[in-house]
Structure 1
């Protein structure tokens, strides 16, 4: 269940996770410091070019991961158009989609072990203060990795609903998706306990 979301391995998989996360932070800061639509549009095109560089398979997988941002983008555009500030809506939408695309690109090309090790290095000052960081080191990569899993579950449930009904599923998928997420969380919790998760905490203490 916990695996790379990339269907193929690229050269970016071999780059240090810290470099990729640092580049993401710099890109995020730069986009928030400018209000130029041209800059944001160029940034989005560059992000799409990064997806296209490894090939068509990687591009399709990356674009599928970005579909979750489309409803939010539509709401932002409609809201700002209704309030008479369409330019701000376009600017915010471009920024949001670009940052999601770049963040998704990092997670697609970074292994779970690399993410855990990176979080462990970043939380080293907390351990020196005597604070247990094992739960944080485990939770952050799991959240990153389980996001596409939950999206895939939602798509599967939607397809199953459409096969049985002509009506849109809408809110009716909330309960089964929640139960599926709880079931996954329970199984992952059991797997962590079986692999000595609590031991990791006690060793730090």
Structure 2
């Protein structure tokens, strides 16, 4: 498993994780209550500038994480073009790119351990009520760490198919990809059991 935290140090790396996550929630809410195309265009441009400020390596790394978003953006734009609502589709596409890019920016500048500390603080009421908040903490950590791993393995399967066939892979890699995902899940489950499982540390 790998971390999405960027090795390129920025000023945002020094900000508290709770502050960054709080700002992310606030700005995301602001984006969803605003329906002005110019605002969303300028806001997305500002995010591109934020990615570019730390340098080329940081920008390239951020772009690699966001490439998976483009098929969804294309679908949204084409659908609203078909329904003659291009402006509305553009707003939705800009909003989608901005929110995901901001979330990715927070992830790139925040250590996973700091995020888990914030989740642990927010999950304290669960511990007090006798519920197992550790499961929530581990679930968030696994999603953050395993998502890029699965994306990378899907790309490797696609490249392997292209090396052996002139046809587009499409649905043909779904089964091997599912087997790989299940195999990874099995290994993670074994590792968790070897380390005590999901025992509530607060008990």
Structure-2-length-normalised TM-score: 0.94
Q: What's the RMSD between the two structures over aligned residues?
A: 1.4
- 2:101 is matched with 101
Deviation (angstroms), 1:3: 2.2
- 2:191 is matched with 191
Matched, 1:40 2:40: yes
- 1:111 is matched with 111
Deviation (angstroms), 1:191: 1.8
Question: Which structure 1 segments of 5+ residues have no match?
Answer: none
1:146-186 deviations in whole A, cap 9, x for unaligned? 21111111111111111111111111111111111111112
Matched, 1:204 2:202: yes
How many pairs are equivalent? 203
What is the alpha-carbon distance in structure 1 between the residues aligned to residue 155 and residue 127 of structure 2?
Answer: 40
1:96-175 matches, within 5 Å, as 96-175=96-175
- 1:15 is matched with 15
Whether the 8 Å contact between 1:7 and 1:57 is mirrored in structure 2 is no
Structure-1-length-normalised TM-score: 0.93
What is the alpha-carbon distance in structure 1 between the residues aligned to residue 6 and residue 148 of structure 2?
Answer: 11
Question: Which structure 2 segments of 5+ residues have no match?
Answer: none
What is the alpha-carbon distance in structure 2 between the residues aligned to residue 44 and residue 30 of structure 1?
Answer: 13
Deviation (angstroms), 1:193: 2.1
User: In the superposition, relative to structure 1, how do residues 56 and 77 fare at CA in structure 2: closer, same or farther (>3 Å)?
Assistant: same
SS of the residue corresponding to residue 99 of structure 1 reads helix
